[in-house]
Amino acid sequence: MPDLSSHRVVVTGGAGFIGCALSQRLAGQVAKWVVIDSLHPQVHPVQERPADLHEAAELVVGDVTDPAVWDAVLADIQPTIVIHLAAETGTAQSLDEATRHSHVNVVGTTQMTDALGRHGIVPERFLLSSSRAVYGEGAWQKSDGEVYYPGQRSHAQFEAGQWDFPDATPLPSIASRTVPAPTSVYGATKLAQEHVLAAWVNARDTSLTALRLQNVYGPGQSLSNPYTGIVSLFSQLAMKGQSIPIYEDGKITRDFVYIDDVADAFVAALGKPAEPGVLVRDVGSGVGTTILQLAESIARFHGAPEPHITGKYRDGDVRHAECSIEDTLATFDWTPEWDVDRGVAGLQEWIAAQQA
Ligand SMILES: NC(=O)c1ccc[n+]([C@@H]2O[C@H](COP(=O)([O-])OP(=O)(O)OC[C@H]3O[C@@H](n4cnc5c(N)ncnc54)[C@H](O)[C@@H]3O)[C@@H](O)[C@H]2O)c1
């Protein structure tokens, strides 16, 4: 654990899945620590402080888009570190609720920087939880070696069941090489967060570390939010003895990264001395897993029937999302430790305990 004892920390969205895991690591390590969280009803079915948020965190229930919330918080704490997690996170949902997603993710970020400016505060560093969604489909390579960006699959492609791009294989995304090209409104707002904060920190000679997280899963993820957390959703079906339905042909790929590895990556990022400017790194397991493989692993665990392929699809779904973590391993004192089979087992025990 880096020495953070002199730091005053504000964590937005800090009562959520990642924020609570992070809270277990920050407790006792920082001089002062305020969490701003609206306790969004889609994530928090009960409007109460989550039990997993460490008791040492001071929780301010408020909305990051509300300037009055920021004014009250910044009158109380002049943060040296801001960890910005608050967001609307429903990728598919964001297509039809674009205004809500943009408002919280983009305007919530600009309200934060405007408020810091009003109060004359320049934190030493920002840590942003960005997303692999900024890459969209990312880069693919044709059989003749040409690297290209296929962009978003069209509705007609989905209708025809053309799941993959012909004669090409996907390349793992990595911040140093892959040009961001989001194909969801959510991804566009996460990229906008990066750009807004980059503009601000470069103008104020301070520091931004943006971590582009792959699919985070594990204990603590909302079991009631139908828009996030495919591992939790599949697990609940298999626990009930149901066959898990699988979209497309089952070969959609994701990089599933366990919550403990993600919380450790945030701590490792804080352990690297802040340098002026912007550092962007990918946080994943570095291993791609197809949705079918994931579902089979969960079904096996519960002795549930085999998953079944439905051939259904969701417009805008990315076919392949996987990252290279080589730069991240070289930058931070961090290595992911959980593979999918172990992570799935860890999650099942937690879900069973919640349901009991
Ligand atoms: N979980 C993942 O797989 C994943 C992947 C990539 C990026 N991320 C990013 O990580 C961050 C945290 O995600 P998470 O998985 O912990 O999600 P989460 O939904 O569990 O946590 C988000 C928290 O933000 C709060 N929040 C939402 N709107 C708010 C608002 N207007 N004002 C104040 N608080 C608000 C919610 O109440 C919630 O507690 C998000 O920025 C998300 O985009 C998550």
pLDDT mean by block of 10 residues, the chain; 356 residues: 93 98 96 96 93 96 98 98 96 92 98 98 98 97 96 94 94 98 95 98 98 96 80 91 96 96 98 97 97 94 94 91 97 97 90 83
Nearest alpha carbon, ligand 1 atom 12: 85
Q: Distance, CA 171 to ligand 1 centroid (Å)?
A: 27
Torsion of CA 195, 199, 200, 204, to 10 degrees: 150
Contact 55, 99 (CB under 8 A): no
Nearest alpha carbon, ligand 1 atom 31: 63
* 216 ligand 1 Cβ < 6 A: yes
- Residue 242, CA distances (Å) to 5, 233, 301, 314 in order: 49, 12, 13, 22
Q: How many CB atoms lie within 10 A of CB 306?
A: 12
pLDDT value of position 76: 96
Residue 245: strand pairing partners: 308
Whole-angstrom distance, CA of residue 220 vs CA of residue 238:
18
Measured from the Cα of 128, ligand 1's closest atom is 41
pTM, 2 dp:
0.97
Helix (H) or strand (E) holding 34: strand 32-37
pLDDT value of position 73: 98
Phi, psi (5° rounding) for residue 210?
Answer: -105, 120
* 53 ligand 1 Cβ < 6 A: no
CATH architecture of 8-355: 3-Layer(aba) Sandwich (3.40)
* 20 ligand 1 Cβ < 6 A: no
Contact 84, 193 (CB under 8 A): yes
Q: Distance, CA 332 to ligand 1 centroid (Å)?
A: 23
Q: Distance, CA 298 to ligand 1 centroid (Å)?
A: 25
Token digits of residue 74: 């910044």
pLDDT value of position 61: 98
* Residue 81: half-sphere exposure toward Cβ, Cα within 13 Å: 29
* 18 ligand 1 Cβ < 6 A: yes
Choose among 180, 335, 320: nearest CA to 258. Answer: 335
Catalytic residues: 186
Is 5 exposed, middle or buried, given 0-12, 13-18 or 19+ CB atoms closer than 10 A? exposed
Beta pairing, strands 140-142 & 58-61: unpaired
Token digits of residue 41: 């009803």
* 270 ligand 1 Cβ < 6 A: no
